Amino acid sequence: MHFSKSLTLLAALTSSAVARHGHNALHEGHLRRGDTGSTVTLTTTNTVYVCPCDSSTSTSIASISTPIPETTSTSTAVLTTSTSTSTSTSTSTSISTSISSSTSIELSTSTVASSTSTTAAASTTSSGASADWTSVPSSGEYCTTGFGGVTKSSGSGDTYVGNVGSPYGTNIQEVSASEASSYKYVVQFQGSNTEAWKVVIWNKIGPDGKMDGWYGKACHSFTLAAGATKYYAFDTDSQGGWTAAKASIPTNAYGSYASTWGEFDFGSTANDGWSGFDVSAIQAQKADLTVQGMKICSALSDGTCSSITKGAGTVDNAYTSALADKGGIGGNLVAGPVRLAVTLDYCG
Domain locations along the chain: 57-122, 147-344
For CA atoms 202, 208, 209, 210, give the dihedral sign: negative
pLDDT at 35: 39
> Which amino acid, residue 287?
A
Spatial separation of the C-alpha atoms in residues 93 and 102, rounded to whole Å: 16
3 state SS of 252: coil
Please state whether the predicted TM-score (pTM) of the whole model is above 0.75. Answer: no
pLDDT at 19: 32
Spatial separation of the C-alpha atoms in residues 274 and 163, rounded to whole Å: 15
Residue 246: count of CB within 10 angstroms of its CB? 17
Spatial separation of the C-alpha atoms in residues 254 and 203, rounded to whole Å: 18
For CA atoms 80, 82, 184, 117, give the dihedral sign: negative
pLDDT at 131: 63
> Among residues 208, 194, 186, which one has the least CA distance to residue 300?
186
pLDDT at 192: 96
Ramachandran angles phi, psi of 260, nearest 5°: -60, 135
> Among residues 201, 166, 340, 200, which one has the least CA distance to residue 266?
340
**Buried b / exposed e along 333-344 (16+ C-beta atoms within 10 A):** beeebbbbbbbb
> Among residues 304, 310, 312, 298, which one has the least CA distance to residue 340?
298
Spatial separation of the C-alpha atoms in residues 138 and 182, rounded to whole Å: 10
Ramachandran angles phi, psi of 263, nearest 5°: -115, 145
User: What Cα–Cα distance (Å) separates residue 200 from each residue in 121, 242, 244, 293?
Assistant: 35, 5, 7, 16
- To the nearest 10°, report the CA torsion of 269, 270, 271, 276: -70
3 state SS of 158: helix
Sequential pLDDT tens for the chain (348 residues): 433 332 334 333 332 333 333 343 444 443 333 334 444 444 444 433 334 444 333 333 333 333 333 333 333 333 333 333 333 333 333 333 333 333 333 333 333 333 333 223 233 333 344 569 999 999 999 999 999 999 999 998 888 999 999 999 999 999 999 999 999 999 999 999 999 999 999 999 999 999 999 999 999 999 999 999 999 999 999 999 999 999 999 999 999 999 999 999 999 999 999 999 999 999 999 999 999 999 999 999 789 999 999 999 999 999 999 999 998 899 999 999 999 999 999 999
User: What's the DSSP call for residue 180?
Assistant: H
Domain covering 147-344: architecture? Sandwich (2.60)
> Which amino acid, residue 180?
A
pLDDT at 130: 52
- To the nearest 10°, report the CA torsion of 241, 246, 248, 254: -60
